Amino acid sequence: MRIAVIGSGYVGLVAGACFADLGHEVVLVDNDQQKLAALQAGRCPIHEQFLPELLDRHRGQRLQFTDNLQEAVRSSAAIFVAVGTPPTDQGDADLSYVESVAREISGAIDGYKIVVEKSTVPVYTSEWVRKIILRNGAPVDSFDVASNPEFLREGTGVTDFLYPDRIVVGADSERCAAVMREIYAPMTDGSYYKKHDAIPRPDRAQTPPPIIVTSTKSAELIKHASNAFLAMKISFINAVSSICESVGANVQQVCQGIGTDSRIGPRFLNPGIGYGGSCFPKDLMAFRAVARECGYDFRLLDEVIRINEEQRHRFLRKIRNALWTLRGKRIGILGLAFKGGTDDIRESPAILLVQSLLQEGCHLCAYDPAAIERTREVVGNKVEFATNAYDAAAGADALLILTDWEEFATLDLSELKRKMRYPIVIDGRNLYLPETMAARGFSYYSVGREPALADNQSTRASDNPQGATRKA
Ligand code: UGA
């Protein structure tokens, strides 16, 4: 099928490359000339596993790039809209890009086409897109609007796309649903997975994936409700981790105990320094705004957001309690991206902590395998950057682990200890076992677990930054 994807950000680029890998003819549309030139020249503008391979495989063949939206629409049977929906000051989604794209699409409709929302949008957006396309002259029978939310995580977007738990399609006519089924047929009939050069199957993937066809409104709500539920799971376990710290319990044991209940499940139960990224914070605010507009006061979401912010403040208190005063202290930072496997620092809790520590007068030396350039754009030369984890730790009064990169979980602890001024590690991602760290001579503070002090450290109350007041 001939498919146009409008917007070549994270979602559009991954979707376009994956549609090409499924065998479709794809044209990716963007009005950012620099980005187009980079893509045409063979560069991959984002850090995403398997994306460079797919772009190399299909560029100039089943994958074309253009700034000519109308021509792309005319030559395609399905038009996926994957433009940005940034938050407004009030927290709701700014849909002006979606509207202007809908207006432009309208003028190019010259036969039956489906227009598919791929960006995360509030309920009723498909109705608005339909109205805008009609208002701008497209005949009523010449198009349908569908909603096809994505559940891609940054870093693993390609495998999430090709090996999804489910494909959700919101379509209000059978004609439109049939086109969507045809697009995903190589996945739902299993033929893609038999190809010798298919992207490798991740653990846990069940193929073929089910396709769930709903109304467009339901599909729009599925996306917001899924992200809100996942964020709620994270805030829930972060709240539980605070209680664990107060009573001297171990949050990992608690997670194992609750996560093995198949109704709850073990995933997205990792406590940390709070969720970040370009999706959860924005989508929670947008969902809350949607609910309010519909007359429902979704206070549960307020609490999810509040716990998330509080988790970061708690971590800052933990640092303060471990180091006493902060002004002038040299602190090594491992991790700047909002999670491991990506160079994205949008709403990254690591960056927010870096900014707080700078305000406290700390000297920071940071390392991240992918996000240094982006961080430099935000903090300039206020932070020193290292080229590896050990250099970030050199001479440090303490080392903070803020992002769950795999390489941070396998550090050479002897080398690390040798480099640091004081062997104090404050781990916001629970990458190590407290007993291992203590045995290796570190004072180690983590989330939802008792601090482990190196053998030569006292256990006075002031050494216990989590404020554990264990009851007899
Ligand atoms: C999220 C969803 O997981 C995707 O399903 C969705 O498609 C995407 O948003 C979106 O709406 O586009 P993403 O933002 O890439 O994906 O990242 P996640 O892997 O979900 O992580 C989000 C944040 O939660 C990160 O800061 C991560 O460190 C944190 N997190 C995640 C935890 O603190 N604990 C966990 O157990 C899991």
How is domain 311-463 classified at the CATH fold level?
Answer: Rossmann fold (3.40.50)
Residue nearest atom 6 in ligand 1 by C-alpha distance: 151
**H or E element: which one contains 92?**
none
Q: How many angstroms does the Cα of residue 429 sit away from the middle of ligand 1?
A: 14
Atom of ligand 1 nearest to the CA of 342: 15
Does any ligand 1 atom lie closer than 6 A to the CB of residue 22? no
Whether the pLDDT of residue 411 is over 80: the answer is yes
Structural contact between residues 259 and 249, judged by C-beta atoms closer than 8 angstroms: no
Q: How confident is the model at residue 460 (pLDDT cuts 50, 70, 90)?
A: very low
Confidence of residue 208 (pLDDT cuts 50, 70, 90): very high
> In whole angstroms, what is the distance from residue 463 CA to residue 451 CA?
9
pLDDT at position 456 = 62
Cα–chain center distance at 229:
14
The whole-angstrom separation of Cα 443 and Cα 434 is 9
**Cis peptide preceding 434, ω within 30 of 0:** no
Average pLDDT, rounded, for the chain: 94
The partner residues of 4 in beta bridges, in order of sequence, read 27, 79
| Chain-centre distance for alpha carbon 130 | 29
Residue 204 is predicted with a pLDDT of: 86
Architecture of domain 227-306: Orthogonal Bundle (1.10)
Asked if 171 and 146 touch (Cβ cutoff 8 Å), the reply is yes
pTM of the predicted model as reported, rounded to 2 decimal places: 0.93
Tell me which residue of 451, 215, 471, 199 sits closest to 318, measured CA to CA: 451
Strand partners of residue 22 = none
Mean pLDDT of 402-427: 98
User: Is pLDDT above 70 for 220?
Assistant: yes
Q: With a 6 A CB cut-off, is 120 part of the ligand 1 pocket?
A: yes
pLDDT value, residue 72: 98
Specify the fold of 2-214: Rossmann fold (3.40.50)
Residue 469 has pLDDT above 60, yes or no: no
For the cut 50, the answer to whether the pLDDT of residue 217 exceeds it is yes
Contacts with 405 (C-beta within 8 Å, 6 or more apart), sequence order: 334, 335, 337, 340, 341, 368, 369
Ligand 1 contacts CB of residue 272 (under 6 A): yes
| E strand or H helix that includes residue 116 | strand 113-117
Type of residue at 28: L
In this structure, the strands spanning 143-147 and 167-171 are antiparallel
Q: Which two tokens stand for residue 175?
A: 């004609």
List, by residue number, the catalytic residues. Answer: 279
Q: In what order do the strands lie in the sheet with 443-445?
A: 384-385, 363-367, 330-334, 398-401, 424-427, 443-445
Rounded to the nearest angstrom, the distance between the alpha carbon of 337 and the centre of ligand 1 is 12
User: 114, 466, 205: which is closest to 321 by C-alpha?
Assistant: 466
Calpha distance 327→358 (Å, rounded) = 9
> Which atom of ligand 1 has the smallest separation from the CA of 274?
33
Cβ neighbors of 466 (< 8 A, separation 6 or more) are 245, 246, 318, 321, 445, 450, 451
Burial class (CB in 10 A: 0-12, 13-18, 19+), 235: buried
Q: Residue 166 pLDDT > 60, yes or no?
A: yes
Distance 102 CA to ligand 1 centre (A): 29
The CA–CA distances, whole Å, from 238 to 206, 271, 306, 450 equal 30, 5, 11, 15
Tens digit of pLDDT for each residue in 136-148?
999 999 999 999 9
280 CB within 6 A, ligand 1:
yes
- CB–CB of 16/157 below 8 Å? no
Q: Which of 83, 230, 352 to mutate to test the pocket of ligand 1 (most atoms within 8 A of CB)?
A: 230
Measured in Å, residue 289 CA sits from the centre of ligand 1 at: 21
How far apart, in whole angstroms, are the C-alpha atoms of residue 186 and residue 21? Answer: 10
Q: Domains of the chain: which residue ranges? A: 2-214, 227-306, 311-463
Alpha-carbon distance of 417 to 424, in angstroms, equals 9
Topology agreement, domain 2-214 and domain 311-463: yes
- From the alpha carbon of 151, which atom of ligand 1 is closest? 7
Handedness of CA 156, 374, 9, 196 (dihedral sign): negative
Contact assessment for residue 371 and residue 429, using Cβ atoms and an 8 Å cutoff: no
- Torsion, CA 247, CA 249, CA 252, CA 254, rounded to 10: -90
**Termini Cα distance of the chain:** 68
- Whole-number percent of the chain with pLDDT over 70: 96
Instruction: Tell me the best of 46, 227, 255, 406 to mutate to test the pocket of ligand 1, counting ligand atoms within 8 Å of each CB and taking the most.
Output: 227
CA dist., res. 68 & res. 58, Å (int) = 20
Establish whether residue 161 lines the binding site of ligand 1, counting it when its CB lies within 6 angstroms of any ligand atom.
Answer: no
78 and 7 Cβ atoms separated by less than 8 Å? no
pLDDT in tens, 242-291: 999 999 999 999 999 999 999 999 999 999 999 999 999 999 999 999 99
**Residue located nearest, by CA, to atom 31 of ligand 1:** 268
Helical ranges in 340-470 per DSSP H: 349-359, 372-379, 389-393, 413-419, 434-439
Please check the confidence at residue 96 and state whether its pLDDT lies above 80: yes
**What is the Cα–Cα distance from 15 to 29, expressed in whole angstroms?**
12
